[in-house]
Structures are given as structure tokens and as C-alpha cells.
Amino acid sequence: MLPATLLLLLNAALSVAQTRQSLSTGYVVSEQAPNPTFFTIPTASQLAISVALCSGTTDTPVPRFFVTNSSSDASPGSSGGDNVFEILLNQGHGNWSGAFPAGGVLGVEDAGQMPFEIGVSDGVPIHEVVLTPPLLGDTTATQALLFSPSFAWQTQQDPSYPNYTLPTANLSVPDAPSNPTNFTLVISPTSNALASMQQTACMLRAQKSSGTIANQSMWLRDASEWRTEYLVTGLAAKTNYTAYVIQSTYKVSGPIYFTTKSSTFSCPLVSRLPYCPSISYAMPLPPPPASQAMYDSTNLPESIVTPLLSSLTNFTTTLTTFACGRDFYSPLVSCADCQRAYRTWLCAISLPRCGDADSAPANAALLPSQAPDARNPAFPAGNTYTQLLPCLETCTATDRACPNFLGFRCPIPQFNAAQSYGVGYIDSGEEGVQGHGSTGAWGDNFGNVWCNSGQ
Ligand SMILES: *[C@@H]1O[C@H](CO)[C@@H](O)[C@H](O)[C@H]1NC(C)=O
Ligand SMILES: *[C@@H]1O[C@H](CO)[C@@H](O)[C@H](O)[C@H]1NC(C)=O
Ligand SMILES: *[C@@H]1O[C@H](CO)[C@@H](O)[C@H](O)[C@H]1NC(C)=O
Ligand SMILES: *[C@@H]1O[C@H](CO)[C@@H](O)[C@H](O)[C@H]1NC(C)=O
Ligand SMILES: *[C@@H]1O[C@H](CO)[C@@H](O)[C@H](O)[C@H]1NC(C)=O
Ligand SMILES: *[C@@H]1O[C@H](CO)[C@@H](O)[C@H](O)[C@H]1NC(C)=O
Ligand SMILES: *[C@@H]1O[C@H](CO)[C@@H](O)[C@H](O)[C@H]1NC(C)=O
Ligand SMILES: *[C@@H]1O[C@H](CO)[C@@H](O)[C@H](O)[C@H]1NC(C)=O
């Protein structure tokens, strides 16, 4: 047995003797208590070096990272020097981009036992905070419908004169992109405080995710953005959850927050309707057919779908009696905009959204309701539920986008609009009406939804 001091000396001598670890472009290395603490960076005209801490909370003492692009045998550190740059960390992430004409070195100080990753990219940093958060569809007592950020876009080519053919009522969904971005969903009760941990993919991936992903598939939401859609089951009722989506293994989107409904909430989730491509929420329907966790276009009752498609078809027929694309009723909007706005409004109006008086924000546009509803007699009778009223703006947007001759009119806030719509949530409300324009939005990233926007 060697004395401890001698062992330490030996270790020190060994680490000096060791060669530096080389980093390669396009790769990530994972380290804990690195030895040596210098990493050589290849020669390149432009590289993005990124680091991510994989443990602890955002106020844990952290290692410091220094990069130099002066040469590949420098020893950058807190003592500074020419062309030595510190990579400052924010919530566990840091990056530095620049030219490495003679290669470079990354040095780590105070690494302790903190596990971390280093990524080297000739494009955007490998580790990244994605600016677009995931999207919540809706929840039930035990389920949640969530969407990744969009990863591909479908360009909508509006028709033009003389062949001004608008999309059919039952929109066709194009084939999904063949190389979708890889996403991983992470959900955890908000009480676990994920948001105060390092906000990095390596940290979040290591957390236990709540619930079970019952289904995961791509969906062209809004008929324009491809997202990965998740149906999560097995959550606890009336619980606050925090959700993230990890993109391409190293990039983090989120957090968003949501609350599951109370245990008495009985409305099932509905989504993936090609004719209503933005709809993903709970509706006053009986439990879905056996073995199915929710409704989609394959099992939504025909008695609901047929009149909706018929209205949209009839509306489109009337709309195109106008010489769309040859004549213009507005310098700003076209018949295609009118049809899109009408579709959004019709879907929101025809497909009532359930709310939960128990977990909704206090000023949400809730209305005790009973199916069949005056607006859509097709919904099965006998279901008493709380309706989250459509946002008045779904109506006024249609009014604005459509030609006058259609006679499309919305109720007026000062009179009785609030009986049938959520008023004043998005546009500033007039005096004495529901939302008082206080939110400027129909929902937020904390899971609050004030009215049904048809989305
Ligand atoms: C190192 O990067 C800095 C900042 O981007 C740049 O100004 C400098 O010219 C680079 N050094 C070399 C040797 O290219
Ligand atoms: C890189 O770091 C800077 C701060 O130095 C930060 O503003 C930026 O968002 C980071 N870029 C990425 C892609 O994370
Ligand atoms: C008119 O446009 C529709 C939809 O874009 C297309 O399917 C159809 O073939 C076109 N008809 C003619 C005559 O170009
Ligand atoms: C809508 O179109 C799809 C094919 O794109 C078809 O499978 C489905 O049955 C149609 N739905 C209705 C209600 O016509
Ligand atoms: C998952 O969703 C897809 C698309 O709607 C559907 O085809 C599939 O049957 C679903 N799988 C399960 C297990 O529900
Ligand atoms: C969920 O979060 C909201 C707002 O942050 C809070 O008011 C509420 O008490 C929380 N509910 C539970 C069950 O923790
Ligand atoms: C997607 O990401 C997960 C987790 O990061 C990884 O295990 C899986 O191999 C990835 N799949 C593909 C196809 O890249
Ligand atoms: C659409 O028009 C047809 C033919 O005029 C009519 O029979 C049908 O009832 C209309 N649909 C709706 C929902 O009004």
C-alpha cells in the first residue's frame, strides 16, 4: 500500500503524461471528472462548441469552460490569455462559435464530479434550447394530448383564377415526412421541480417520465405544420405536470405546464380529424369504443361528421359564386382565407369543448351545458358537462376574412355575445365583458385555457 501523498503525486504525474483527448466534429463526448481536463479541437473554418451539464439544479456550483482558437497545444483557463474565451453557462447550457484555423483547445476547471457533455458542430450548436415550446392539446383526468414543436411545414398553395378550386371539406392529409425529427417526451409532476434542474437534454433524459405513451404519431396540425403527437395515459387526476420535448437527443424544448382534470371529468379526447386539422380537445361524448383510448376520424360518430362536412361544402359552394381570384372583395384577404377562417370557426362551434370548473382558471368562459346542444344536436343526449365556449375571435376572424354578401355576422360584445362565446380574451374586451382583454390570448404555457379557439 503506497502512502496517500505518493498516490496523489503518481496520479498527477500520470495526468501530465497523458495525451489530451481529441474532439471530433459532429460528435458529443460525455465526461465525468475528466482526466486530462484539456480537449483538443480540430482545425476548421467555423465550429460551434457547446457544453451541457448533466446533473444538479441550476444553482449548483458548476465547472468553468474555456476555449482557445490560438493553437492545439495551448492550455486555456481562468488565467486568460490571447484568444481565450470563457463559455458562460445558462441553466446548464453554453456555447462558443468561431474560427479554428490552427485548431484549438477546450479547458475545464472545477469539474468536480459534475457529469457534462461537449459537442462540436460545423453547423448550429449540438446542444441548444429550442425556442418553440411543446404544445398542449388538452387533458382528461388521466390523459394528456401533447405535441412536439413543428419540424416540417406544408406550404399551402392557394388556388388562382381561372381554376379557383378550394380544398374539399374533408381535407386530404399528405404523406408524413420520411425523415422526421426524433423527439422524446418527458413529463413529471411539477412538484418534482424539473424546471429548477439543469435545463439540458442529458439531465432531463435521466428523469423518470410520468404516464405511458399510448400512441405517438405525426400529425399535420392546422393543415400546415407537422408535429409529433403524443397520447399520454396513466396520469394522476388534478395534478400539475411539467413537460419537455427533447429534440434530436441534445436540444431542449420547454418547459410547459398543464393540469389534469378532476376525477369526475368524463369527456374523452378527440383529435386527428383531417377536416378540422387544429382540433385536439375533450368533447361531450360517451367513452370511446372498446380498446381505443380516444376519438379520431376513424371512430368519431358519423352523425357528427356528416352535417359538419355538409355545412362546409355548402359554404364553399356559396363562396365560390363570387369570382374568387378574378374579382377581389378585399385588398387583404381572399376566398381561400375566408374558407380557412370559416373552417376554424365551424369546427369550434360544431365540436363543443369540455371544460373543468374544478381546474380551469377562475375567469374562463365556462357554461354549464347539456347535450344535445343547441349548436350541434348531433352530440349524444344525456351528457351534462361544462362547456368551454368558443372565443368570439374565431367568429370575428371569419367575419373579417369573408365577403359581405355571405351575410356572416357575429354577436356584439355589448349585447349578448357572452352567452354563446368567450368574449374579450384575445382582443381587448369592451367594458363589462368576460375576459376584459386581460390575457391577450386564448391560452398560455401554464395550461390555462380561457376559451375555445378551435385549436
Ligand atoms: C479566434 O476567434 C476570435 C473570435 O471569433 C477571432 O477574432 C480570432 O481571429 C480567432 N483567432 C484565430 C487565430 O483565428
Ligand atoms: C449560445 O450562447 C449564447 C450566449 O453566449 C446564447 O445567447 C445563445 O442562445 C446560445 N445559442 C444556442 C443555439 O444555444
Ligand atoms: C384545378 O385545380 C384543382 C386543385 O388544385 C386540380 O385538382 C385540377 O386538376 C385543376 N383543374 C384544371 C382544369 O387545371
Ligand atoms: C375523409 O377522407 C379520408 C381519406 O382522405 C377518408 O378515409 C375518410 O373516410 C373521409 N371522411 C369522410 C367523413 O368522408
Ligand atoms: C395510434 O394512432 C394511429 C394514427 O391515428 C392509429 O393508426 C393507431 O391505430 C393508433 N394506435 C393505437 C395503439 O391506438
Ligand atoms: C397547480 O398550479 C397552480 C398554479 O401554479 C396552483 O394554483 C395549484 O394550486 C396547483 N395545483 C396543485 C394540485 O398542485
Ligand atoms: C431517438 O432518440 C432516442 C433518445 O434520445 C434514442 O434512443 C433513439 O435511438 C433515437 N432514434 C433515432 C431514430 O435516432
Ligand atoms: C347543404 O345543401 C344541401 C343541398 O342544398 C342540403 O340538402 C343540406 O341540408 C345542406 N347542408 C346543411 C348542413 O345545411
Domain extent listing, the chain: 18-126, 130-419
Cα–Cα distance measured from residue 324 to residue 201, given in angstroms and rounded to the nearest whole number: 49
Counting ligands in written order, the one closest to the CA of 318 is 8
Helix (H) or strand (E) holding 202: helix 201-205
Does residue 416 surpass a pLDDT of 80? no
**How far does CA 337 lie from the centroid of its chain?**
25
Pairing of strands 353-355, 384-388: antiparallel
**For the chain, counts of helices (H) and of strands (E):** 5, 23
Q: How far away, in angstroms, is 191 Cα from ligand 6 center?
A: 10
Cell of 366: 365556462
Supply the pLDDT for residue 413.
72
Atom of ligand 8 nearest to the CA of 314: 1
Does residue 440 surpass a pLDDT of 70? no
Cα–Cα distance measured from residue 82 to residue 440, given in angstroms and rounded to the nearest whole number: 50
Q: pLDDT-derived band of residue 1, with 50, 70 and 90 as boundaries? A: very low
Four-residue CA torsion sign, 291, 296, 301, 302: negative
Q: How far away, in angstroms, is 172 Cα from ligand 3 center?
A: 15
Among 396, 169, 385, 398, residue whose Cα is nearest residue 281:
385
| Full DSSP string of 126-144 | SSEEESSPPEEEEE-SS-E
Supply the pLDDT for residue 434.
54
Pairing of strands 251-259, 128-130: parallel
Supply the pLDDT for residue 418.
73
Amino acid letter, 294: M
Residue nearest to atom 1 of ligand 7 (CA): 182
Cell of 175: 404523406
Cα–Cα distance measured from residue 53 to residue 36, given in angstroms and rounded to the nearest whole number: 18
Summary mean pLDDT of the chain: 89
Q: How far away, in angstroms, is 307 Cα from ligand 8 center?
A: 8
Supply the pLDDT for residue 128.
95
216 lines ligand 7 (CB under 6 A): no
Four-residue CA torsion sign, 32, 34, 35, 40: positive
Does residue 344 surpass a pLDDT of 90? yes
Asked if the peptide bond before residue 368 counts as cis, ω within 30 degrees of 0, the response is no
Supply the pLDDT for residue 411.
85
Q: How far away, in angstroms, is 163 Cα from ligand 3 center?
A: 6
259 lines ligand 6 (CB under 6 A): yes
* Rounded mean pLDDT, 247-264: 96
In the chain, what percentage of residues exceed pLDDT 90? 73
Q: Find the DSSP H helices in 260-403.
A: 302-319, 335-350, 392-401
Q: In this predicted model, what pLDDT tens digit does every residue of 288-298 receive, in sequence order?
A: 998 899 999 99
Does residue 268 surpass a pLDDT of 50? yes
Cell of 248: 434530436
DSSP label at residue 442: S
Q: pLDDT-derived band of residue 438, with 50, 70 and 90 as boundaries? A: low
In the chain, what percentage of residues exceed pLDDT 70? 91
Cα–Cα distance measured from residue 436 to residue 146, given in angstroms and rounded to the nearest whole number: 29
pTM across the whole model: 0.90
- Find cell 375576459 and name the residue: 435
Q: Which residues sit opposite 66 in a β-bridge? A: 86, 107
Q: In this predicted model, what pLDDT tens digit does every residue of 363-381 receive, in sequence order?
A: 788 888 877 666 777 888 7
- Inter-helix orientation angle 335-350/392-401, to 10°: 160
Supply the pLDDT for residue 380.
80
Counting ligands in written order, the one closest to the CA of 87 is 2
Q: In this predicted model, what pLDDT tens digit does every residue of 90-134 receive, in sequence order?
A: 999 999 999 999 999 999 999 999 999 999 999 999 999 999 999
Q: Which of 51, 64, 67, 95 to mutate to test the pocket of ligand 2 (most atoms within 8 A of CB)?
A: 95
- CATH architecture classification, 18-126: Sandwich (2.60)
Residues recorded for the chain:
455
* Rounded mean pLDDT, 165-169: 96
Kindly tell me the burial class for residue 83, based on how many C-beta atoms sit within 10 Å of its own C-beta (0-12, 13-18, 19 or more).
middle
Q: In this predicted model, what pLDDT tens digit does every residue of 18-72 receive, in sequence order?
A: 578 999 999 999 989 887 799 999 999 999 999 999 999 988 888 999 999 999 8
Stretch among 140-144, 395-399, 444-448 having the lowest mean pLDDT: 444-448
Q: Which residues sit opposite 207 in a β-bridge? A: none
79 lines ligand 3 (CB under 6 A): no
Kindly tell me the burial class for residue 26, based on how many C-beta atoms sit within 10 Å of its own C-beta (0-12, 13-18, 19 or more).
exposed
